[in-house]
Amino acid sequence: MGDLVLTHDMLVIGTHVMSDCAPEDVAWKLVGVNLSDLAAKGAQPIGVLMGYMLGASEWDTRFAAALGDALSHYDTALLGGDTVATPAQSGDTRAFGMTAIGRATHMPVPSRSGARPGDTLWVTGQIGLAMLGYLGETGEAPCNDIAIARYRRPAPRLSEGRALAPHVTAMMDISDGLLLDAQRMAQASGVTITIQSGAVPLPAPIIGNADLPAQAMRWGDDYELLFTLPNGIEPPIDATRIGVVYGMSEHHLLIDGAVPDPMQSLGWEHG
């Protein structure tokens, strides 16, 4: 039983997904964000437990069908859970919880607390793709189908996490913003992490905009893997080196060698 990995995450309509988000996308995103936590542990999904707030019958039917599709896609079972019925609410605010259960594929299980001075910092995929999708949804940027799909239905990096698990010193997924999550890794590890902003992999439409690169590193919803490796070790998957780990200094996070602007949030802070 010592190799089991459990995680729990929630989605609130109007907060984590748009108020008019299709039930199919809510279902896929709920599965994706929970399995992303298993990916960061190099775990193989086994099953999930679902906490569901009932609503309109047609919406619920569509959600249930999509939930089955998403779990089948990731070869994961619905093991049980609970449903609740509540009086109609203004704006139809609803919350959904999921507990994901996985089995570790490597021991010790990677954590965010293992980064060591001299390690290098890496990230999978592109940072800001989900933000670009959100801006496309709201009409603030040109429509980008790939980015919108990434925002609506984040894809957990399960195979990448399993491949990385034997090699990393620390690993976590990026849910609340690259900078904020890097700072959390540094705090948990008792080190200082320096990120080279010019090395961060960004989608082309973001690179061409003067304001968006800094926003992309703070925006979140990427669900990519952030990890550290001993110096000289290359990752067994496609990834981008974006920084270095140093011994603890006055600040846990530096960007291009400088302290982040204290007047700007590093990412999504849960209330």
- Residues with Cβ within 8 Å of 254's Cβ and at least 6 positions away in sequence, in order, are 192, 193, 194, 195, 260
User: For domain 120-255, which CATH number applies: 3.90.650.10, 1.10.3470.10, 3.30.70.1140, 3.20.20.70?
Assistant: 3.90.650.10
- The H-assigned helical ranges of 138-256 are 145-152, 158-164, 178-189, 204-207, 212-219
> Residue 180 pLDDT > 80, yes or no?
yes
Residues of the chain with CATH 3.30.1330.10: 4-104
- Rounded Cα–Cα distance for residues 166 and 107 (Å): 8
pLDDT for the residue 269 = 62
pTM of the model: 0.94
DSSP3 helix / strand / coil % (the chain, rounded to 5) = 30, 25, 40
Mean pLDDT across 175-179 = 95
Nearest Cα neighbor of 14 from 132, 93, 131, 97 is 93
> Residue 270 pLDDT > 80, yes or no?
no
> Residue 107 pLDDT > 70, yes or no?
yes
Query: Residues 13-29: pLDDT tens digits?
Result: 888 888 889 999 999 99
Residues of the chain with CATH 3.90.650.10: 120-255
pLDDT for the residue 152 = 94
Nearest Cα neighbor of 213 from 235, 234, 242 is 242
**Residue 185, token pair as written in the block:** 């890794």
pLDDT for the residue 26 = 95
Give the pLDDT band (50/70/90) at residue 144: confident
pLDDT for the residue 67 = 98
Give the pLDDT band (50/70/90) at residue 90: very low
Per CATH, domain 4-104 is 3.30.1330.10: yes
